[in-house]
């Protein structure tokens, strides 16, 4: 098998590309797009372009809706897109139109134009449940779009820490391949459970136990006989999706899954630097204790009514013997969600350094040290994904495409610890 040509959308600082290229040199990115709307400085793109400027790929810093027709032929489409309102409406010309600015529709147009062999997408874990008032609608729209374009689809909500990695970060991952690909032709409706439990793309990469909760299993169809048009899906569809699932044709099977416990675990303590600069120790402990502590307060709504707001305590300081918590874009600031540790070398409290945040996501040390401010380094890492998960998916994709044997995520997490 030859190289796999990759197009990367919403590239950020390049986590998807780093993971794929760690998996195999046969992944060749030919076109990439990163655009932060409303910002004069494009820090994430500048970082991406700094690392991949002279690699043969075309790196585009513009609104994807404006440049989607520039996307060349490719084998694998990847991207981490935001959770937005995916609803559609009928137009006067009896066509179908999604809301402006919703990035899924640019992805959809690229898929329709190029029909790549494979697709890997990443989104927040709540994607399969949104919106609240019509549970599952948004994910149903995405699945119907992919089915209409002739794709077999799997999904899995993955918490990186449950597979031995260093951050408790839950994300929805979608894998799709064209129905003419041998891997897709292998499975028919009666093999749904085998796909989810042992034979599918995600089952190979991220093993699960055989335990099934009969109350959290769902099977249904989203075809034309059920919902004539995509507008009907948008207006009427509501179903429960769980952490794992598969779609062949228009038939869908989904259930809750339980990850197999890893044999090794990377912890926050494994990632710490030594001899950290004094500026990271400048913390107001009383303020941090208050923010991390449990709270109850009476608040007022816009209509004048009141309600009781409460939030539980967060460990203070963060526990070094466990994986880090989900890192947000506010990391490093005086914020409830930021990590605060008791440095084992000095016995003093401090925040994490930008390098430690890069390690939390599995990036090489100094990856974001490309001219942006420290505040932006924290911000871009809060927007990034856990790179070793993508490396695992890349290895599995190469195996499916007939190139190399698979490597488990546990094997890779062990290697990562040895590099720190």
User: Which of the residues 83, 145, 177, 357 is marked catalytic?
Assistant: 83
Q: What residues are paired with 245 via a beta bridge?
A: 155, 254
Does residue 378 have a cis bond before it (omega within 30 degrees)? no
Measure the CA–CA gap between 27 and 48, rounded to whole angstroms: 17
Phi, psi dihedral angles at 246 (to 5 degrees) = -150, 150
Task: Please say if 145 is a catalytic residue.
Answer: no
Active site residues: 83
């Amino acid at each position: 098998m030859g190289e796999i040509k990759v197009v990367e959308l919403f590239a950020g600082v390049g986590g998807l590309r780093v993971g794929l290229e760690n998996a195999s040199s046969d992944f060749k990115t030919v076109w990439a797009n990163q655009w932060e709307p409303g910002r004069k400085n494009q820090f994430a793109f500048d970082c991406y372009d700094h690392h991949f400027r002279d690699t043969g790929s075309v790196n585009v810093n513009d609104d994807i809706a404006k440049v989607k027709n520039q996307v060349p032929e490719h084998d694998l489409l990847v991207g981490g897109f935001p959770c937005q309102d995916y609803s559609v409406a009928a137009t006067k010309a009896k066509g179908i139109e999604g809301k402006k600015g919703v990035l899924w529709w640019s992805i959809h147009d690229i898929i329709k134009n190029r029909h790549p062999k494979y697709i890997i997408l990443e989104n927040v874990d709540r994607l399969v449940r949104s919106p609240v008032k019509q549970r599952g609608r948004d994910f149903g729209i995405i699945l119907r779009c992919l089915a209409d374009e002739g794709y077999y689809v799997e999904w899995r909500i993955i918490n990186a820490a449950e597979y031995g990695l260093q951050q408790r970060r839950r994300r929805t991952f979608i894998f799709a391949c064209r129905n003419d690909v041998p891997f897709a032709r292998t499975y028919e409706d009666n093999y749904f459970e085998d796909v989810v439990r042992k034979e599918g793309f995600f089952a190979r990469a991220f093993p699960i136990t055989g335990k099934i909760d009969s109350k959290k299993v769902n099977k249904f169809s989203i075809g034309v006989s059920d919902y004539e048009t995509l507008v009907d899906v948008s207006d009427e569809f509501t179903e429960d999706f769980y952490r794992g699932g598969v779609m062949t044709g228009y038939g869908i099977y989904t259930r809750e899954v339980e990850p197999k416990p890893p044999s090794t675990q990377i912890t926050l303590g494994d990632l710490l630097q030594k001899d950290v600069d004094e500026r990271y120790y400048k913390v107001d402990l009383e303020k941090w204790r208050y923010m991390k502590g449990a709270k109850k307060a009476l608040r007022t709504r816009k209509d004048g009514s009141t309600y009781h707001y409460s939030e539980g305590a967060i460990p203070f300081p963060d526990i070094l013997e466990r994986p880090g918590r989900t890192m947000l874009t506010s990391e490093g600031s005086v914020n409830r969600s930021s990590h605060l540790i008791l440095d084992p070398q000095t016995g003093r409290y401090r925040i994490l350094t930008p390098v430690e945040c890069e390690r939390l996501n599995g990036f090489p040390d100094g990856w974001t040290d490309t001219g942006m401010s420290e505040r932006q380094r924290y911000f871009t890492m809060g927007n990034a994904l856990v790179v070793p998960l993508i490396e695992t998916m890349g290895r599995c994709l190469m195996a499916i495409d007939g190139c190399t044997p698979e490597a488990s995520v546990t094997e890779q997490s062990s290697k990562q610890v040895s590099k720190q």
